[in-house]
Amino acid sequence: MNYRHIYHAGNFADVLKHSVLARLIRYMQKKEGAFRVLDTHAGIGLYDLSSEETQKTGEWVDGIGKLMEAELGPQVSELLEPYLSAIRELNPEGGIRFYPGSPKLARMLFRPQDRLSAMELHPEDYARLHRLFEGDHHARITELDGWLALGAHLPPKEKRGIVLVDPPFEEEGEYQRLAAGLEKAYRRFPGGTYCLWYPLKKGAPIKEFHETLQALNIPKMLCAELTVRSDRGITGLTGSGLVIVNPPFTLKDELHQLLPTLKDLLAQDRFASHRAFWLRGENKTVKDD
């Protein structure tokens, strides 16, 4: 209950997560049918980067701040357009003061038929999220432990959906809990697209986490990781990863275009790296740099 995403809004981990979320939404919209985004750990939805909390850490400066100022090649610009256009829409006078969290970004990209279910347990953050979407019939905001949503809120009535699981990783065993949550959710909704976020830091059990996921025998799991600095002498976040279950068939090639650019722009030292590979599925070749 201590974690507050406002201190980290717009950082390099958000850039990776939200870039991919926007791609998943656009892919789902290739079909006319409605779909639902289920956001299990939603936060407050919209962040003021001039606030005392964000100014205290300034993490957004080395994340979305760098990306918004960059000159991007045409292919990468096209892939990032849904994400960056939402940010520009929130900041019509230029610059970047307001940054969309996952639920706000998803809602901004929706068609009339698409829907949002967002869960937040922190009482103050839930209240702010609820006010943000008050009166919006496309969004259902629930004060709930997001882990419970993986059972109670699946499958969605639309039978199509993206499930974003972005826990705070405050407690021991969160990697195992994430794998167990996926196993539970997948049994209820095997046709869904899942996007699971996890931190990269010194001593993190990434190899064991990946092996646990592989043992679930879910047919298609794609992994993307972005590291921005060495973990030598650092105890905090050095990178982040995403596991995408049932990914769009185009996503791996898109990641091979996006990740090198994000690494070059967001690198904090010469040890920055990236990789995109199949945990299970098409092939398991690991590409990194």
Q: Which residues contribute to the annotated binding site?
A: 18, 41, 102, 120, 145-146, 166
Q: Which residues lie below 8 Å from residue 74, measured CB to CB, with a gap of 6+?
A: none
Numbered residues of the known binding site for S-adenosyl-L-methionine: 18, 41, 102, 120, 145-146, 166
Phi-psi region of 240 (alpha: psi -120 to 50; beta: other; left: phi over 0): beta
Cα atoms in the Cβ-side hemisphere of radius 13 Å centred on 272: 15
Query: Which of 14, 48, 166, 231 does the annotation list as catalytic?
Result: 166
Structure tokens at 184: 């539970």
166 among known catalytic residues:
yes
Q: Which of 181, 190, 119, 127 is nearest to 161 (CA)?
A: 190
Residues with a known catalytic role: 166
